[in-house]
């Protein structure tokens, strides 16, 4: 029985870096295109909604609407970048390219492979989220000194959503099924977590629902920090993001082991 558990756990604290490095070497050949692609969607939201609705909405929670939206897009871009890297690129490496199968013939366990994939997706999230934060600071929608504080939160957000997406990878028969995760989970989460408008404007029941969404906790940490304000319940928000990063990781590795052995 121990062998079954050991197969889904990382063998040690450094094997996963080989998987991370493999993905990095493949990515850097098209790094610029990849970064621009990750920036496109949140920038459209930022300038499209921010400038358009901003003229009608005015100020939100003591800041301009475009500044409010910019802080939400930092967390949203981390969510999107890590999720898409996992459900498309990692899925391709597992099923189509069969890279995982080859790697598992080495001393690496499935836990090492999954941890490396999650860490790489979090790296992509870190690049995307930090880029949006820098753009917001350049445009005057955030303070420069806030960026070092939000970077760890962006990375933790990437880990949380990559772990969740890895469960989808383990369960989805094909790429066609990922659209359900995007439209039924990610898109509603974007609008219910305070990225586009304040959670306080939602009905009471929906506000309670938002407390269970990882994106809401990321935004509650990132938004105050980007304006140099103290965040409330920091350890609580970090703890929720940590749980979303750890528990889905073990669930996904167990599901992936069953899938790869079938």
pLDDT of res. 1: 40
In a domain, 17, yes or no: no
Residue 138's CB is within 10 A of a number of other CB atoms, namely 10
Rounded Cα–Cα distance for residues 129 and 154 (Å): 6
pTM over 0.85: yes
In a domain, 227, yes or no: yes
Q: Give 70-93 pLDDT, tens digit per residue.
A: 888 899 999 999 999 999 999 999
Q: Give 193-218 pLDDT, tens digit per residue.
A: 988 888 888 888 888 888 899 999 99
Q: Give 148-176 pLDDT, tens digit per residue.
A: 999 999 999 999 999 999 999 999 999 99
In a domain, 240, yes or no: yes
Q: Which domain holds residue 42?
A: 31-261
Q: From residue 103, give the alpha-carbon distance in Å to each of 12, 18, 29, 123, 151.
A: 16, 10, 21, 21, 31
Total domains present in the chain: 1
In a domain, 24, yes or no: no
In a domain, 5, yes or no: no
Q: Give 137-148 pLDDT, tens digit per residue.
A: 888 888 888 889
In a domain, 75, yes or no: yes
pLDDT of res. 4: 53
In a domain, 37, yes or no: yes
In a domain, 2, yes or no: no
Q: Give 13-30 pLDDT, tens digit per residue.
A: 899 999 999 999 988 887
């Amino acid at each position: 029985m121990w062998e079954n558990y050991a197969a889904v756990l990382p063998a040690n604290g450094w094997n996963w870096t080989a998987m991370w490095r493999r993905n990095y070497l493949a990515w850097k050949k098209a790094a610029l295109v990849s970064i621009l692609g990750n920036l496109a969607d949140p920038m459209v939201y930022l300038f499209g909604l921010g400038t358009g609705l901003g003229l009608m909405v005015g100020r939100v929670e003591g800041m301009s609407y475009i500044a409010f939206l910019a802080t939400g897009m930092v967390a949203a871009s981390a969510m999107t970048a890590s999720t898409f890297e996992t459900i498309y690129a990692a899925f391709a490496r597992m099923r189509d390219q069969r890279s995982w199968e080859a790697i598992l013939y080495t001393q690496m366990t499935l836990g090492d492979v999954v941890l490396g994939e999650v860490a790489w997706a979090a790296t992509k999230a870190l690049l995307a989220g930090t880029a949006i934060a820098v753009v917001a600071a350049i445009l005057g929608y955030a303070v420069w000194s806030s960026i070092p504080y939000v970077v760890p939160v962006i990375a933790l957000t990437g880990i949380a959503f990559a772990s969740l997406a890895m469960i989808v990878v383990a369960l989805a028969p094909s790429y066609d099924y990922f659209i359900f995760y995007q439209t039924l989970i990610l898109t509603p989460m974007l609008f219910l977590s305070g990225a586009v408008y304040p959670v306080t404007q939602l009905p009471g029941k929906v506000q309670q629902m938002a407390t269970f969404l990882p994106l809401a906790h990321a935004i509650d940490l990132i938004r105050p920090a980007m304006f140099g304000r103290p965040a409330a319940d920091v350890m609580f928000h970090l703890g929720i993001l940590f749980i979303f990063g750890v528990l889905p990781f073990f669930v996904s590795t167990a599901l992936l082991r069953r899938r790869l052995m079938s």
